[in-house]
Amino acid sequence: MIAFLLQTSGSPLMARQNHMFYFVAIGAVLICFILGVIWFIVQMYQKMIKSEAYQNKQHNIPTNASHIKAVGQLCELTEAEEQILAAVCQKYAIPNIAYNYRNTEIIDAAFKKIFEDMQESETDPKVIEQRRSLLLSIRQKFDTAKANQLIITSSKTISEGTELQYYDSQRKLYTAVIQQNTPEALVCTAFKDCFGTAVQPEQLSKIQVFFQQKGNIAYLMTVRVIRYQTGNTGLEMLLSHSNDLQMLQKRSSKRIPMNQKCLFSAVKVEIINEGKTERLKYIPVGKSYGAKLVDIASGGCQLSCNVNVKTNQYLHLEISLNDSAQPDQMDGLVVNAHTDSATNMRILHIRFVSLSQKTRNRILMTVYDYM
């Protein structure tokens, strides 16, 4: 067939041109065929890797060096953290860490066993604390990486049912709920205060609203009130979409509620000169006062007390985590203090400024339930 197509008549020059044309045409057809086959293979591969069976298989394969490297880059692990993570994944058969670092159940079960075995097998307290610090740092970085993946940049991705908060010019709080998130607008209930009193910002006016999404990340965004309408649940409000979402400060570490007694006292701060550098030394002074530990994280805690402590005061804390016989001691700065109108108790938000490696490890082990 090809020979027939290549048969030509006329001058030798015409014959050579016809030959070239047919070769080019056949080459183009072959290239299109090959590209079509490649496209088909790529489509089939993408379909396969998105399938539930493939995902389950990938989740359960043993962790290898490439998985460690991938999660190391994603979670910004140090070289030492990557090395210890590789060792524990192999010893405790943690499957594909590149997938399962997000699986709290798998990670916490493995880490809890690691901490139990470490306590039994290692005798050097310094080595124990160093290994605990590395593992707890890894655990925190897993949480940070997961939270960063939940960050949103457009109101079009806000979940339906999300509560919006709006403050009027008198700083009075009103809330509304997103009923529908359509491509054109956010369809919400009307803003109401805690007594059910409604407020209607003017149509076409711009307002600022607050909301919170997964990962306990709070956002502020500016939207325009498009119009009001009557819907199935009564008065509805249509708000414009926004791509200008401002993420407000979020917790840098996991925090858990507590309900136990503790002690605190005032602190004298001294500046210690150490050659060319200086450091602060915190010295407890005066009597100790009783308080209730409301919550705790590696970076700070919240106390409730009946002592009129002020913002920017330094305190020395004694907290018996998990009812330990020897209280854990730390120093902190009161970054916020206010009186609860319902209980008349003073609420103190404290940021830790000085604590030992062992105490920090014990706080994180309490937070993640590794004690």
- Above pLDDT 90, what percent of the chain? 62
CATH number, domain 155-242: 2.40.10
The mean pLDDT value for 74-78 works out to 95
How many CA within 13 A on the CB side of residue 147?
Answer: 18
CA–CA distances in Å: residue 13 to residues 3, 4, 8, 168: 18, 19, 11, 87
Three-class secondary structure of residue 176 per DSSP: strand
Least confident piece of the model among 27-41, 187-201, 293-307? 27-41
292: tokens are 């209730």
Cα separation, 189 vs 176, in Å, equals 5
105, pLDDT greater than 80: yes
311: tokens are 């913002």
What is the predicted pLDDT for the residue at 206? 95
370, pLDDT greater than 50: yes
- Is pTM, for the whole model, over 0.75? no
The mean pLDDT value for 204-212 works out to 93
What is the predicted pLDDT for the residue at 4? 42
Residue of 175 and 152 predicted with greater confidence:
175
What is the predicted pLDDT for the residue at 315? 97
The mean pLDDT value for 273-292 works out to 91
7, pLDDT greater than 60: no
55, pLDDT greater than 80: no
pLDDT band at 332 (very low <50, low <70, confident <90, very high): very high
Cα separation, 105 vs 11, in Å, equals 81
What is the predicted pLDDT for the residue at 197? 86
56-92 in b/e form (b: 16+ CB < 10 A) is eeeeeeebeeebbebbbeebebeeebbebbbebbeee
- Architecture in CATH of 256-367: Beta Barrel (2.40)
1, pLDDT greater than 60: no
314: tokens are 């330094």
Cα separation, 108 vs 360, in Å, equals 18
The mean pLDDT value for 70-81 works out to 95
pLDDT band at 277 (very low <50, low <70, confident <90, very high): confident
196: tokens are 């059910």
